[in-house]
């Protein structure tokens, strides 16, 4: 189990402040959603957590160690990353694409073994791409590609998963499936962070939400505490319906203010 601690993190990109003074402690066992309007700094925070972007102030600690001080191989085994909008250029089969997720686990010149094949099978089953295993990845639809790339991240079997917009291009059924999977992974002891735009999915599945606006953390807590009518109006500029469906509290943006 791995804990990520963000301490006073600020990030500047191309001379523009993108994050300012972010503090958060992300622990295993809960699905943590990062939400906020476009340009709020969500993807930047995700990449900084992984050590892919340097901070201009503050730090990101992974079990007490600075993430930027960890060797790249160690980070790759500890933290799996599903970036948003990733394109596929090489005509690999889906199975071979998912197998790339095992690279951090392999030594120099080593071959994929039985344990790796088992991990690949588990990842494809979880992401519902077993039926696509022999398809060429470059010929997949957007939703199929998104699931195949999720399977690649799952194949790492890292204790941390950071997924940036994992619901993009997915149909409603697969959106529900992916969110339930992320929830199950978190409940199983992983540290799972998902950047989300769908507030209804965030409300239904996440245990905790970090709400960013203008590069600052403006709310951190349960979905019920974060997604209030006043905050949705202030941060998103929308009115929203809130209520219960099948015993679950739901939130749905209705109109711009």
Question: Which CATH number do you get for residue 17?
Answer: 3.40.50.300
CA 51-54-57 angle, to 5 degrees, is: 120
Res 44: pLDDT: 97
Mean local confidence (pLDDT), 110-137: 94
Q: In what side-by-side order are the strands of the sheet with 216-221? A: 79-82, 160-164, 191-195, 31-35, 208-213, 216-221
Q: What is the DSSP string of 160-177?
A: EEEEESTTTT--HHHHHH
Task: Identify the pLDDT of residue 87.
Answer: 80
Mean local confidence (pLDDT), 79-104: 92
Alpha-helix runs per DSSP H in the chain:
42-49, 72-78, 94-99, 114-126, 142-155, 172-187, 199-205, 223-226, 229-231
Q: State pLDDT tens for residues 40-83.
A: 999 999 999 999 999 999 999 999 999 999 999 999 999 999 99
pLDDT at position 108 over 80:
no
Task: Read off the pTM.
Answer: 0.93
Q: How far apart are CA 6 and CA 137, in angstroms?
A: 36
Distance of CA 93 to the CA centre of its chain: 24
pLDDT digits (tens, 9 = 90+) for 198-221: 999 999 999 999 999 999 999 999
* pLDDT computed for residue 85 by the predictor: 79
Q: Residue 38 has what pLDDT?
A: 95
237: left (phi over 0), alpha (psi -120 to 50) or beta: left
238-255 pLDDT per residue, tens: 999 988 888 888 899 999
**Which pLDDT value is given to residue 90?**
85
The answer to whether residue 131 scores a pLDDT higher than 90 is: yes
Coil, strand or helix: which one is 138? helix
> Among candidates 41, 63, 50, which has minimal Cα distance to 195?
41
> For 153-194, how does the pLDDT look when each residue is reduced to its tens digit (9 = 90+)?
999 999 999 999 999 889 999 999 999 999 999 999 999 999
User: Which pLDDT score, from 0 to 100, does residue 10 have?
Assistant: 97
Q: Are 2 and 160 in contact (CB under 8 A)?
A: yes
User: Total structural domains in the chain?
Assistant: 1
Question: Helix 142-155 to helix 172-187 angle, to the nearest 10 degrees?
Answer: 10
Residue 200 belongs to domain spanning: 4-256
Q: Which pLDDT does position 56 carry in this prediction?
A: 94
CA distance 216 to 22: 6
Q: Which residue has the tokens 């905790």?
A: 208
Radius of gyration (C-alpha) of the chain in whole angstroms: 18
**Mean pLDDT, the chain, whole residue set:** 94
């Amino acid at each position: 189990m791995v804990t990520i601690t963000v301490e006073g993190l600020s990030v500047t990109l191309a001379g523009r402040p993108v994050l300012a003074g972010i503090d958060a402690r992300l622990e295993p066992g809960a699905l943590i959603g990062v939400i906020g309007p476009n340009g709020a700094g969500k993807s930047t925070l995700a990449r900084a957590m992984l050590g892919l972007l340097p901070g201009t102030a503050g730090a990101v600690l992974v079990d007490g160690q600075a993430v930027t001080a960890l060797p790249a191989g160690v980070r790759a085994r500890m933290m799996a990353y599903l970036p948003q909008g990733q394109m596929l250029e090489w005509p690999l089969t889906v199975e071979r694409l998912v197998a790339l997720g095992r690279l951090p686990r392999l030594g120099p010149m080593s071959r994929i073994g039985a344990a790796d094949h088992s991990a690949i099978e588990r990842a494809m089953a979880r992401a519902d791409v077993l039926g696509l295993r022999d398809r060429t990845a470059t010929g997949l639809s957007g939703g199929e590609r998104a699931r195949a790339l999720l399977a690649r991240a799952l194949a790492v079997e890292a204790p941390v998963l950071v997924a940036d917009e994992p619901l993009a291009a997915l149909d409603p059924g697969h959106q529900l499936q992916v969110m339930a999977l992320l929830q199950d992974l978190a409940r199983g002891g992983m540290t799972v962070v998902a950047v989300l735009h769908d507030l209804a999915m965030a409300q239904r599945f996440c245990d905790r939400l970090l709400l960013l606006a203008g590069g600052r953390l403006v709310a951190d807590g349960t979905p019920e505490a974060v997604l209030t009518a006043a905050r949705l109006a202030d941060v998103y500029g929308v009115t929203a319906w809130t209520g219960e469906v099948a015993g679950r509290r739901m939130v749905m943006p209705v109109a711009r203010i």
